Amino acid sequence: MTDLSLGGFPLDLLALQLVTGIALGAIYVLVGIGLSLIFGLMNVVNFAHGAFFMVGAYVGVFLYGYTGSFWLSLVAAPLAMGLLGLAVERVLVRPLYGRGIDDPLLLTFGLSYCMVESVRIAFGLTGLPFGAPPDLRGAVDLGIGYFPLYRLFLIAFSLTVVGALWLFIERTSFGLVIRAGARDPQIVQVLGIEISKVWLAVFGLGCALAGLAGILAAPLQGVTPEMGIPVLAEAFVVTVVGGMGSLAGAVLAGLLVGIVVAMTSLVAPDMTKMAIFALMALVLLVRPRGLLGRAGALG
Amino acid sequence: MSAPVPGHALAQGTPLAAPRPGSGRTGRWLALASRHRVALTLAFLVVFPWVAPYQALAVNILVLGLYALGFNLLFGYTGLLSFGHAAFLGGGAYGCGIAIVHYGLHPVLALVAGTLLATFIAAAMGVLAIRTRGIYFAMTTLALSMCVYYAFYRAEAFTGGENGLRGINVPVLTLPGFLLDLLDPVVKYYAVLAVVGGAVWLFSRLLSSPFGAALKAIRENEGRAQACGYDVRRMKLVAFVISGALCGLAGALQAIHLSIVPIETMHYATSGQAVMMALLGGMGTFFGPFIGAATFSLLQDGLSTLTSHWQLFVGAIFIAFVLFLPLGIWGEVLARLRRAGW
């Protein structure tokens, strides 16, 4: 295998970076879909989305330390963030419907301060180290080289979640209500469906996805109170690149961003952080509505 | 696909459109004050250091007030919410600092250099961000400013990277005919005020010009402004760049004031600070940004002596303002005076 190469890099190294990129992309997909769901239905940009990601990771890591079960963390972190999301929508965001579109954004921005600072109070400023759980450590041979097991697991697990989510939205009656609500909430209300309950549920679902992404990302990087800030910016890039309100766009853009990051870190490590923003700038110049966005959505 | 449906109103009955400052009927006294807004603002700022807890804080508030003022041109008057203004404050600060540290420029020229760098960054970011609308604008400006942050973080030879840019020492300002001892906080305050005052005057002229009126028209109804024949996209870009230049000037002043440019100047949190100050003070009001800057600084100063977790309280106070006092302090004062028929 090592005799094959492309652009000076051996193919197995490129394949490894590709897997790394897709694993990173899977995180972006989960975060981006949560953001996109909330936005597409409610016109609310959740600026605390990165904070939900971070708190989800902390909840998961904390529970793992107590119970030793990563699977439990994987269920509990999204559950906790979903419940927190429900409370936030009900108590803080709901009074703002009918006001300017900036108001929920500003409120969730303030909320993210409170969440980050609360985590600092509870867990300290420096963050916690966290590695892959023992069952998922090590590497497996896929025939073209060895790949870290956890990253493969992360990809498979995220794909399953995204697939389930797609089925939920496209094939269930509640999914139909969500899609109808994104189109025209007034008609949905007239048809006798209490749209505010749908909004509540979707806000919770979006936050749960952020929490799930957080605990899935934790073994890759450890957890710090500030880990949500770059993720928020990257999730915005995903939604702008993919096209706002398009779930397929979020999946495509998330994977694309992940792969671009991984490949840049191989070719030009200094440029890694900037590459995704360059990608966004390019998309804005060439196709401002995003890859799969609808015409006119961006003006 | 049609534009996003404004359907949320039905959850709460009638839409509660916040009354825009300045749109109500203005009484005689308020009209008089509005005509002399520059003089009144400057009068307040001249007296301010003698009521502030200490003078270094007064300089901070002055600089942050200019930062919030520049931000408010875009947020309050044009209706564009940017989460990327730290790139301009930081661009101005680094431009000024680099001019002094690496090229030994005269501080006044360094102020110009900083403002120019910020203007350039604003133009580059603006061209991209203006292509998006509404909420996308906030997300795009945030992402682009993160890109600028990483670029400056990486350019360690010029910016000092993580350690920040150090050694911007301007103890004495040499001007033709006289010397200013900037180590004296009172002298420093009034030297900074001379620059800020000029910017405030320019800002007021800009608002009362036809261009300023067009910006407010875009804020109220973009489609209608376009139908009236305004080149909305270009006007937004020009507003974006001017806003960036004002924030850049604030950054340049801050670099000289603090004699260091920490990398945090460019961070997302600094962008958020502009949003907070503008909202606390009152978006779309002339004097609000200075009230907002003073409130924010005094809160930060007061709370940080009590607890290292002051951001928790700042966040909570901000949430309370969004929920219960969306007009901000100064906006609420004006609204009450207006209702009382002043």
CB contact under 8 A, B11 and A97: yes
CB contact under 8 A, A110 and B318: yes
Beta-strand runs (E) in chain A: 5-6, 9-10, 139-141, 146-148
CB contact under 8 A, B12 and A237: no
| B-chain residue closest to A274, CA distance | B147
Residues B33/B278, Cβ–Cβ less than 8 Å: no
| A-chain residue closest to B219, CA distance | A100
CA distance B224 to chain A (A): 15
Of B104-118, B126-140, B201-215, B279-293, give the lowest mean pLDDT range: B126-140
CB contact under 8 A, B143 and A240: yes
CA distance B256 to chain A (A): 29
pLDDT per position as a tens digit, B258-279: 999 999 999 999 999 999 999 9
CA distance B244 to chain A (A): 19
DSSP assignment string, B220-287: H-HHHHHHTT--HHHHHHHHHHHHHHHHHHHHHHHHHHHSEE-GGGGSHHHHHHHHHHHHHH-TT-SS
CB contact under 8 A, A97 and B12: yes
For residue B49, is it within any domain? no
Mean pLDDT of B202-207: 94
Looking at beta carbons, which residues of chain A come within 8 Å of B279?
A: 106
**Residue A179 identity (one-letter amino acid):** R
Q: How many CB pairs under 8 A join A and B?
A: 161
Looking at beta carbons, which residues of chain B come within 8 Å of A232?
A: 142
Looking at the partner chain, which of A92, A234, A299 has a beta carbon nearest the beta carbon of B133? A299
For residue B50, is it within any domain? no
For residue B122, is it within any domain? yes
Q: Given pLDDT bands bounded at 50, 70 and 90, which one contains residue B13?
A: very low
pLDDT along chain A (299 residues), means of 10: 66 87 94 90 91 96 91 95 96 90 92 95 89 84 82 94 93 90 87 91 96 95 91 90 83 94 88 86 84 57
How far apart CA A147 and CA A15 sit, in angstroms, is 9
pTM for the full predicted model: 0.89
Best interface-test mutation with B: which of A97, A190, A200, A287 has the largest number of B CBs within 10 A?
A: A97
For residue B341, is it within any domain? no
Residues B280/B324, Cβ–Cβ less than 8 Å: no
The helix (H) or strand (E) run that includes residue B122 is helix B107-129
Confidence (pLDDT) at A61: 94
Looking at the partner chain, which of A98, A232, A234 has a beta carbon nearest the beta carbon of B12? A98
Contacts of B309 (CB under 8 A, 6+ apart): A117, A120, A121
Q: Given pLDDT bands bounded at 50, 70 and 90, which one contains residue B50?
A: confident
For residue B338, is it within any domain? no
pLDDT-above-70 percentage for chain B: 92
Q: How far is CA A3 from CA A11, A84, A145, A147, in A?
A: 8, 53, 13, 19
- Higher-pLDDT residue of B50, B11: B50
pLDDT per position as a tens digit, B175-191: 888 888 888 889 999 99
How far apart CA B296 and CA B293 sit, in angstroms, is 5
DSSP assignment string, B8-61: GGGGSSS--PPPPTT-S---HHHHHHHHTHHHHHHHHHHHGGGTSSSHHHHHHH
Looking at the partner chain, which of A116, A189, A281 has a beta carbon nearest the beta carbon of B10? A189
pLDDT-above-90 percentage for chain B: 67
Confidence (pLDDT) at B51: 85
pLDDT per position as a tens digit, B57-109: 899 999 999 999 999 999 999 999 999 999 999 999 999 999 999 999 999 99
What average pLDDT does chain B have? 88
For residue B237, is it within any domain? yes
Q: Given pLDDT bands bounded at 50, 70 and 90, which one contains residue B16?
A: very low
| Phi (first) and psi of residue B181, to 5 degrees | -85, 100
For residue B146, is it within any domain? yes
Domain hosting residue B199, numbered range = 56-267
Confidence (pLDDT) at B286: 92
For residue B201, is it within any domain? yes
Total domains in chain B come to: 1
Confidence (pLDDT) at B18: 43
Best interface-test mutation with B: which of A99, A118, A272 has the largest number of B CBs within 10 A?
A: A99
CA distance B336 to chain A (A): 20
Mean pLDDT of B299-320: 92
CB contact under 8 A, B8 and A98: yes
Best interface-test mutation with A: which of B12, B20, B136 has the largest number of A CBs within 10 A?
A: B136
Confidence (pLDDT) at A29: 95
Residues A154/A22, Cβ–Cβ less than 8 Å: no
pLDDT per position as a tens digit, A73-131: 999 999 999 999 999 999 999 999 888 888 999 999 999 999 999 999 999 988 888 88
How far apart CA B301 and CA B250 sit, in angstroms, is 20
How far apart CA B301 and CA A284 sit, in angstroms, is 41
Q: Given pLDDT bands bounded at 50, 70 and 90, which one contains residue B131?
A: confident
Looking at beta carbons, which residues of chain B come within 8 Å of A297?
A: 1
